[in-house]
Amino acid sequence: MIRHLKILLLSMVVIGLMSGSAFAAASLNAGNTTLAAERISPTVDYLPAAVNTGYQPGGVVAASSILRVSISGATFKMSQAFDICQNVGATGTSMGAGTTAATGTPSYVDITISAGNTLASGTAYWIQDDACAGLGTPLGSAGSGSIIIPGGTLADTVVSLTVDNKLTPGDPNVYATATAITVVNQFTATLSKVTSKLDFATSMKTFVASAAGTALPYTPTTTQSQAAIVITSNQAVNDLVTVGAGGGACARVLAAGDAVKFKITGDLTGISSIKYGTVPEIYTVTPANRTNGYATASVTGDKLLICYSTDATTTAKKALELTATGSTGTSSIVAGIRTAQITITGDSTGNIPVVYSRDLVAAGTASHDIQLDATQYYIPLVKVGTGTETYIKVQSKATATGSNGVSVAILAGDGSSVTYSAGTITSGTPLTITGTQLQTAVTAAGKTVGDSFAAIVTVNSPNADVFGYANTCDTTGCKRIPVKTVYTAGAAQISE
């Protein structure tokens, strides 16, 4: 029995080899070209320059057979003629022809092998759009625009070509599929957040400078809070947006019509400008920006500092700076996190198509974490009046020179704040501030305030060293007021 089975299997192998089709499969080389998403307009179709279509049948394909060449992720041009060509002599020879539909967005073409022609196993053929005039001419290279990438196509889109037998789908002598184009993002960006401390000595109008020699991101001076941004162009993309040499490594440029927009969101009180780059591009923060809670700095393509993916990265990081108005300014900077949204855009005069826009860094990404070099307590309800008084007590265990100074920002009746200097804590001894003192300070400043108001107490000492307590007393007794730490490492906290 086993002997007969071996003979049967051997016979099947011999017959398969004689037929030239057993255990063989057709193959298609579509090139797998990478295409930059930034080349594709949101509204206008894109015509790739060249797509390879080398094809080998897995076995004999007879005359009158119909090859269905399908495309996914893109379309063929309407009424476009295609041939399957064998390269013989100076020009190719058409082995069959077909034409796409005259309307709509054709997704396939049927090519009929012409009378007297046969496709042979293992022989190379090309699917061409130039009537076989050239030898192995890629689709689109003759200017026909035979493949169309729809406007708005995004990264990660894959364009595939498939050759199949229309009449007997899946025929191993015919069926082959391959990736022709992969759409990828050419430009990427990395944002590194900076943490800057506010200086109590200047009423939080400036920063505490970092030690000299610290690399980005850092706080180089009392007015500069510098996050770090790296914008990279992937130069390995086959069909890419042109990026000029510019000033050399990590100082490459786009066209002036292109741009990168830096939108900074958060409280911009006490911030005079947004700056980008080594020799900075400067955007002045306006009163309207402060009211709206965001500002946008748009840097034209010729002022950008882009890294080629092949550049050494020693100079990659560029500053994205929030500049403090400084100690002469009238408003203190508010502690908290500012976020950045970084967007690349195109223009009709640029290298990137008009209306194109894509975030390199998503909205809401932390860029500047501005923290107090002090402790702040929010007192939500200070009450005063006949028989009523509020007592705020702060203690500190800090002993560093210059520490323990106390100031209070009082919310006046017109919505503005009045600053009251409450003195200095003696380490270990409570400092008491009354609601009447705060109300009097508002009146002395020429403003009005009611018998109930809010206040923020700031102590020039680390949060871990300071203790806060508040209560309101009247004829019925005393009630504690929740004391909330306004800002500690990015999060508000109840301190008691």
pLDDT along the chain (496 residues), means of 10: 38 37 76 93 92 94 97 96 88 94 96 97 93 89 85 97 96 96 97 91 86 89 96 96 95 96 97 95 96 97 96 89 87 91 95 96 97 86 95 92 88 93 94 97 95 93 89 95 71 52
Could you tell me where the DSSP H helices lie in 248-344? 287-292
Which amino acid, one-letter code, is at 26? Answer: A
pTM for the model stands at: 0.78
CA atoms within 13 A on the CB side of 455: 34
Q: What is the pLDDT at residue 410?
A: 96
| Residue length of the chain | 496
Instruction: Find residue 259's DSSP bridge partners.
Output: 300, 345
pLDDT given at position 491: 53
The whole-number pLDDT of residue 293 equals: 96
3-state SS assignment for residue 290: helix
Q: What is the pLDDT of residue 235?
A: 97
**Predicted pLDDT at 347:** 93
| Amino acid identity, position 170 | G
Choosing among 1.10.1740, 2.60.40, 3.30.420, 2.60.290, the CATH entry for 375-494 is 2.60.290
| Burial grade of 448 (CB within 10 A; 0-12, 13-18, 19 or more) | exposed
Nearest to 368 by CA among 294, 313, 462, 301: 294
Strands lying side by side in the sheet with 336-345: 194-198, 357-372, 336-345, 259-265, 294-300
Highest CATH level, class, for 14-184: mainly beta
DSSP 3-state assignment of 107? Answer: coil
Residue 76 makes CB contacts below 8 A (sequence gap 6+) with 100, 106, 107, 108, 109, 146, 147, 148
**Neighbouring C-beta atoms of residue 245, cutoff 10 Å:** 10
Residue 433: its pLDDT value, please? 97
Q: Looking at residue 494, what is its pLDDT?
A: 52
Q: How far is CA 90 from CA 98, 117, 134, 162, in A?
A: 23, 19, 8, 28
Question: Token pair 């409280």 is at which residue?
Answer: 267
Nearest to 27 by CA among 149, 177, 220: 177
Domain boundaries, the chain: 14-184, 187-372, 375-494
Question: Which amino acid is residue 208, in one-letter code?
Answer: V
Cα–Cα dist 332/269, whole Å = 7
